[in-house]
Amino acid sequence: MIKKYLETGKIVGTHGIKGMVRVQPWSDSGEFLTNFKRFFLSPNGENELKTLKIQPHGGVVLVAFKGIDTVEQAESLRGKTLYISREDIKLPEGRYFIDDLIGCSVFDADSGEKYGEISDVSVTGANDVWHIKSGEKEYLLPAIDEVIVSVDPENERLEIRPMKGIFDDED
């Protein structure tokens, strides 16, 4: 299911005394968050926060929001999840939000056999790994060009050509 608002990070603390917050980004890099002029505090797009300043800082992103001027106001945001509006970003071809992949059905591109559904995605550094749940079993599939044939999150359908041994029930 394609969501209009996507989780993008979590406010993990304050920075300085003028109301800046530290955000742990849930994206490929903190640089991604610098593309946004606004964030939301709910998955429904409520409680909009407009950015005054945003910059990567080590493993976090420092953000100054309009109307958040003191460390006490910033502290009240600690632990809150930030959301972005899908309309504020255009992903490059072949890139997808993890949220859009979760719940998609995974099929064999040649036989049409259904393997299961994406239950999670692990970001490993070398390549993402899709967790495919089928009943009580979970399979781990490297999300690489040699395996992924098509990705269609709008229709909740992914097609693959799995490597030998991933779905084979070998003893």
What is the mean pLDDT of the segment spanning 86-99?
A: 83
Q: Which of 55-59, 67-71, 112-116, 125-129 has the lowest mean pLDDT?
A: 125-129
Q: pLDDT, tens digit, for every residue of 96-132? A: 888 889 999 999 999 999 999 999 998 887 888 999 9
Domains of the chain and any CATH numbers: 5-87 (2.40.30.60), 98-160 (2.30.30.240)
| Average per-residue pLDDT for the chain | 91
Question: Three-class SS of residue 27?
Answer: coil
Beta strands in the chain (DSSP E): 5-15, 20-25, 38-40, 48-57, 60-65, 81-85, 105-108, 114-123, 128-134, 137-142, 148-152, 157-160
Higher pLDDT residue, 135 or 123? 135
Question: Three-class SS of residue 73?
Answer: helix
Phi, psi for residue 81 in degrees, rounded to 5: -85, 140
Pairing of strands 157-160, 137-142: unpaired
Instruction: Assess whether pLDDT exceeds 70 at residue 1.
Output: no
105 contact partners, CB below 8 Å, separation of at least 6 = 114, 116, 117, 156, 157, 158
Alpha-helical regions (H) of the chain: 71-75, 98-101
Q: pLDDT, tens digit, for every residue of 2-42? A: 788 999 999 999 999 999 999 999 887 888 899 899 999 99
Q: What percentage of the chain has pLDDT greater than the value 90?
A: 72
Instruction: Assess whether pLDDT exceeds 90 at residue 79.
Output: yes
pLDDT confidence band for 156 (50 / 70 / 90): very high
Confidence (pLDDT) at 164: 86
Q: What's the token pair of residue 15? A: 């920075």
Answer for the pair 152, 101: CB distance below 8 angstroms, yes or no: no
